[in-house]
Amino acid sequence: MNDKPERDNQTPKQRGRVIVKKLREHFGSRLISGAEVGVLRAMLAEHLLLNLRTIRKYYMVDRWAPVKPDSSYIRSLDKVPTFFRTQEQADAVLRVAIDRTNRCAGKRIILKGGSVAMAKVVPDHSLHFVYIDAEHTYPAVCTDLKVWWPKIMPGGLLCGHDYDNPIGYQGLWGVKQAVDEFVAALDLQLELRGRIEWFVAKPRKTESTNVRTLP
C-alpha cells in the first residue's frame, strides 16, 4: 500500500468551498468571528468573506515581510517565501491582499506581524474559528497551534491547510505531526476533508471530561 496521498489539485475556489461548507455545518446561521494565520494574497480570505455572509469579523494575520535565507521557512522548501525576497515585493503582496478584500473592508482586521505577536492582540476565547496556514515546519505549526488555540471559544473550530500535502515531503513539512500530537495531547477529534484540510472542534465546557495541558 502506498502511504503517499494524491497530490492536492484543488483550485483555491474549490478549497474555499470545502471550508465554507464545514463552517456552515458547524456554526449554522450564527454570526461568527475568525482569523486566518498566513494570508499571502488573500485568496482564501476573499472567498470566505464573499461567500460566508455570517462572518462579521475576520482577522487577516501575516508578516508580509521577507524571511532570512537561512531560516527554517526557506529550508522547508516552501515556495511561498520566495514570492517576496524584498520588503518592496512583500508590500506589493500586502496591497493585493488589501485590494482583494476591500469589498469587505468593514469586516476585516489586518494584523501585519508575526503569528505569536499578533495572537497577543486578539482576546482569548473571542473567535469562533482560526485557520492556520503559515509556515509548515513542525516547530512553527506547534507554536501556531499553541498560541491560537486559547483564542477560540468553547464550541469553536481550529482548522488549517496542508495536513498531509505531498508537496511538503521533500522539504519535511511537519503539519501532520504537529496537528496529530496536539490532538492527542488534548484528547480531541481530528476531521480531515480531502487529506489537506483539517478541522478540530474545541469542546464545549460541559463536554470536557479530562483536564489536559500541552507538553
- Minimum distance from CB of 29 to ligand SAM (Å)? 25
- Does position 159 interact with ligand SAM (CB under 6 A)? The reply is no
Quick one: which of 115, 141, 148, 176 contacts ligand SAM (CB under 6 A)? 115
Quick one: which of 38, 156, 168, 174 contacts ligand SAM (CB under 6 A)? 38
- Does position 172 interact with ligand SAM (CB under 6 A)? The reply is no
Q: Identify the bridge partners of residue 127 per DSSP, sorted by sequence position.
A: 152
Nearest to 90 by CA among 115, 74, 67: 67
- Does position 32 interact with ligand SAM (CB under 6 A)? The reply is no
Task: Give the span between the Cα atoms of 98 and 105, in whole angstroms.
Answer: 8
Instruction: Pull the grid cell for residue 164.
Output: 498531509
Instruction: Pull the grid cell for residue 141.
Output: 505549526
- Does position 44 interact with ligand SAM (CB under 6 A)? The reply is yes
**Quick one: how far is CA 152 from the chain centroid?**
13
What is the Cα Rg of the chain in Å? 17
User: Around 116, how many Cα atoms within 13 Å sit in the side-chain half-sphere?
Assistant: 7
Nearer to ligand SAM, 30 or 83 (CB): 83
Quick one: which of 94, 130, 133, 202 contacts ligand SAM (CB under 6 A)? 133
- For 163, other C-beta atoms within 10 Å of its C-beta total 26
- Does position 5 interact with ligand SAM (CB under 6 A)? The reply is no
Quick one: which of 63, 100, 108, 176 contacts ligand SAM (CB under 6 A)? 63
Residues at the site binding ligand SAM, with contacts judged by CB under 6 A:
36, 38-40, 43-44, 61-63, 80, 114-115, 133-135
